[in-house]
Chains A and B, each alone.
Chain A
Amino acid sequence: MELVMAILIGVLFTAAVYLILSRSLLKIIIGTGLLSHGAHLLILTMGGLGGLAPPVISEGVTDFADPLPQALILTAIVISFGVTAFMLVMAYRAYAVHKTDDMNQLKGNDEHD
């Protein structure tokens, strides 16, 4: 199971890198979304997948899943959700002001020297 997850995470990262390197702003944002999905799955997998065991410890229970990665992934998901929402709004504003979503045309060139 861990191996399958590792491959899936790798695929997500690959797709994310491809999208982030593209020129369209919207694709880049989708890429960051995929990147954080990959990272979240990685954190879940790294705690060891516990199978069907519940994430609790009580008297006499020896087989349990690690509850910590689930707490971590929840925090990380909420954060990346907020950041993605903010990025989308900003990308829209940038599009409205600059009239383009092509990163090639968003290079800085009004500096002195």
Chain B
Amino acid sequence: MSVRALWIISHAKGENVSIRFSRRFAAVEHRAKCLAGPSYVAVPEDNTVLQLLLTELGLSDSDKPYVAVRDDCYNRQRSPALELRMDSPEKGILWPVLAISQGPLILACLSLVDAPPEPRPPLSSLLSVSQGLTLLAGLQTFLLSAGVKTDNEGLASRLAMLPSVLLQICPLGTPLDVPLLGAPATPAALAPAGNQKQPAWKMGLHRGRAVVNVALVETVRSMQYGNRSRQDLWDVFGTVTCKCEVEGVLPNVTVTLTLPPNGSPLQDILVHPCVTSLDSSILTSCSVDNYDGSAFSGPYKFPFSPPLEPFRLCSYTSQVPVPPILGLYQLKEEENHLRVSVTLKLHESVKNSFDYCEAHLPFFNRDQMGLVDMKVSSGQLDVSKEKNLLVWGLGQKFPKSREVTMEGKITFSGPTPGPTDPLCIGLTAYVKLYFKVPDMTLSGCCVDQHSVQVYSSAKPRITTSRELVSKEYFLWNSTGTAPVSSGQMML
């Protein structure tokens, strides 16, 4: 349940790699030595670890097309845990090394194997693995929360805080918590002399007016092919984020999610650990299961005791009958230009009031755009500076007909080649939609302001909100071959 060592590495696309922080936990290492006996492999010095790690992640020697140790097809690069194979003189394999990377950072740790080393135990039998992953993810969020990812100063200042952060969350190699985001809240008043113990995840106590804010965000993803042989796909997942400022050591708050009549049940519900109890019926509905008409469809009650900071109370997925925007994208190769036609239809159930709505038409593996001769029935069309992307801004509203079209032709006669993409070859192309609709959800799920119950003496101020945003919302060219995005639909 402990980690032997921890490394934080920064790099820019495999270049300028350096270890920015490392920590070895000697006492855990001592245990590792006792546990592994003769098969013990010591952790080498940082530079060696770095080299091995980069090889395993496929980031070393980026100028060479093939390196046997890096590119062997037998390498099991599908596990969350890496093996670092050491060369002479200390032959041996360091395992399990967990690594997560995002942006310029790679975070890695070596978990303790508290089981007989031979035969190698499955990862899932080592609690240290999930704990290590949680620690790494927590550290990553902490380090990257400093602001823009490329902001080196922000990162450096966060790195400088790590020793004192680790003293609190992982002093001796056994992770106790993840770092708090933002500046540590001023340690508020101490625990009162009551019987109630203060939760370890609550830094202090709130004093003052009670405020509860519940925000429900639904995200819709879609793959539309405009093709009878292939079924269009869309899915919806929602998250409920709360910020609760309520007095008391362990105040009780209940948030209730409700669905409209005939709403399809919320599935795959995951809850924050501060939720005190759950009704078993809430958990039963599951997206990978056969749909059961008799499934529980709310209301979904989540009693919890909030931490001080904002947190994700719960998340769910939902199967909605229609996508919010149905689109058709047609691209035809004609002589020396492409004929483009896009139609977008806003479903009648969706509120026609957007924060923003944009359609992006990128073009890959071609020269830059030359002549763009396009007509749109609504909104405004822009060509990106790099001349490889059309941006169709639809503004805040669709026209009354709820349908917009774009029609025209493009020649690719620019002087330099545009960007490349391994998927979008020939007529394989897509339109990507970006939109946000305030005050609505596709599933119909909502948090009623009056259904939020706060058990406290003062009357709290409660605000709730909901919105729908798109993510990975693709319309594939119906005249080209489009990649399969879900095997389930194909079978």
Are chains A and B native binding partners rather than an unrelated pairing? Answer: no
**Residues of chain A at the chain B interface (Cβ within 8 Å):** none
